[in-house]
Structure 1
Amino acid sequence: MAEEKYTRQTVTHVRAWVPGKLFSLRVSRDPAYAFQPGQFARLGLAAEDAHDCAAPPGLWRAYSMVSAPHEAELEFYSIVVPEGQFSPRLARLRPGDALYVDKTPFGFLTLERFPDGEDLWLLATGTGLSAYMSILRDPTVRRRFRRVALVHGVRTAEELAYRDEIQALAGQDPGLTYLPIATRETLPGMPQDRLTTLVADGGLERLAGLALDPARSRVMLCGNPAMLADARKLLGERGFAPGRRGIPGNLAVENYW
């Protein structure tokens, strides 16, 4: 009998960040499951018409790990897409329920993409924050970079999941800058604007007190396709580009939509 390509894990905790819209969950972790900060897992649920809730998975979706590689459980952060086949069911899971995890981690939004640099910029919209939480929870990032700037673009303040944790990390580490940016309300000390506008007019650099310099900066982008396309173009005009054919780059991009 062929070995299964996935393991059956158990939900241990569920948190609603914005009821009916944003949530996170933690699940048990197979001891053999290893990943790099920034990678994602394929999560599986039994087919919707399955009579047994523990039936083999019939539907799969990709979710970045929020948890760091050293943590005992796996954590994931998601938005509920009302008409979706997967996220509404994922949001209804409760402790004790089953969730399947593919044995192979995926993705290249990792620090291994970059040669050493001085500054790391982490730019995300919405649930694209997930991968960056894994990176921030891992001590490797602060050994490699002098400064880290995390920029999280949302519509309203209630969508700033993990805000308290990030602020606590920044309070302990003067080399970490956290810039929460909302487009539909003004947050204290922050402009009400889109991330791409702030990249274009230099606003992010002024807020962070840090230059976007292709010679010393490394930039990660994770979020909705429109933001990625616009930011990639703006940064490309300034000398940022992904690595190719063995040539290290200073830009890494992942669509989180």
Structure 2
Amino acid sequence: MSNWVEGQVKEIKWWTDSLFSLILNADVEPFTAGQFTKLALQVDDKRIARAYSYVNAPSDPNLEFYLINVAEGLLSPQLAKLKAGDTLMIERHATGFFTVDELPASEQLLLLSTGTAIGPYLSMLVQGDVWQKYQHVHLVHGVRCNADLSYQDKIKQLQAVYPQLIYTPVVSRESANLGLNGRVTEVIKNNRLFDLMPHCVTPSNTQFMICGNPQMVKDTTALLLDRGFTRHRRREPGNITVEQYW
């Protein structure tokens, strides 16, 4: 059986002139929150495919993906043109190990993201297993502008259900309407981010998941290593789990 199946677009929601959510229905295999799949279209008789993380919880039949329309991209401009009822291809089987079940239990969990990489965290938080392993969860979303802070209603709904969820936007190119100014690396360096946690952030009580811009992932990991945190591996449990988002 082919791993590719046809999906039908249910809705496209635009957040800004370049950020949008693609919602579709397709007969895919069960996945774990945090995993990704591939979407594809035929472009000039060639199948163009790219990996995207699920935003929806695994129990939700509406499959959701959070994208940026990259003007020079081969696929995203084509996906941005889709309308309700259009079809595309999706890989039936999801993959990836950026999931809560791969992490050690601890007191606190920090979910660090930039741009569209907040997507897999939303899937995890809606799915809910994260609360079986952590007393406090801090969702951090680094963006350039306030307008880039998508999914505000969903985040508020999550906080209403889970008051132990902390949400902090980090805005780098204008004054923040909510949260902190700067870059994710900067607010870690000056401790402004860690000061928002209910308890001191130490290797004995905190886990990190880092997802987004590869340079941010690299620089943030280096900062945490310098502070005594360690990379998490199955054979060598540690504090830092990362996902390169492109």
Which TM-score applies when normalising by structure 2?
Answer: 0.95
Q: Deviations over 1:76-100 (max 9, x none)?
A: 0000110010000011111111121
- Please tell me the root mean square deviation across aligned C-alpha atoms, in Å: 1.5
Q: Distance in 2 between matches of 1:195 and 1:205?
A: 11
TM-fit CA distance, 1:245 = 5.5
Determine the C-alpha separation between the residues in 2 that align with 1:77 and 1:237.
32
Equivalent-residue separation in structure 1 for 2:138 and 2:26 (angstroms): 30
Q: How far, CA to CA, are the matches of 1:243 and 1:187 in structure 2?
A: 32
1:124 alignment partner in structure 2: 113
1:36 and 2:25 equivalent? no
Deviation at 1:164, TM superposition (A): 2.0
CA distance in 1, matches of 2:5, 2:238: 35
Q: Deviations over 1:113-142 (max 9, x none)?
A: 211111111000001111111011112111
Distance 1:189 1:7 in 2: 41
Which of 23, 27, 31 is the matching residue for 2:24? Answer: 27
1:49 and 2:44 aligned: yes
Identity among equivalent pairs (%): 39
The partner residue of 2:131 within 130, 142, 157 is: 142
* CA positional deviation for 1:212: 2.3
Change (3 A) 1:202 1:43: same
Counterpart in 2 of 1:187? 176
C-alpha separation in 2, matches of 1:98 and 1:215: 48
1:205: how far off? Answer: 1.1
Mapped to 1, the partners of 2:95 and 2:66 lie a distance apart of 16
Aligned pairs for 1:83-122 (under 5 A) are 83-122=72-111
Superposed CA offset, 1:47-104 (max 9, x none): x124xxxxxx711100000011111121000001100100000111111111211122
Give unpaired runs (5+ residues) of structure 1: 51-56
CA distance in 1, matches of 2:181, 2:3: 45
The residue matched to 2:230 in structure 1 has which SS? coil
Within 2, Cα distance between the matches of 1:205 and 1:10? Answer: 43
Q: Structure 1 counterpart of 2:29, which letter?
A: Y
For each residue in 1:34-59, what CA deviation from the matched residue of structure 2 results, as whole angstroms up to 9, or x when unmatched? 1111110111111x124xxxxxx711
1:24 counterpart letter in structure 2? S
Structure 2 residue aligned with 1:15: 13
Q: Please, which runs of 5 or more residues in structure 2 have no aligned partner?
A: none
TM-score (norm 1): 0.91
Counterpart check, 1:218 vs 2:207: yes
C-alpha distance in structure 1 between counterparts of 2:72 and 2:121, whole Å? 27
**In structure 1, C-alpha distance between the alignment counterparts of 2:239 and 2:59, rounded to whole Å:** 26
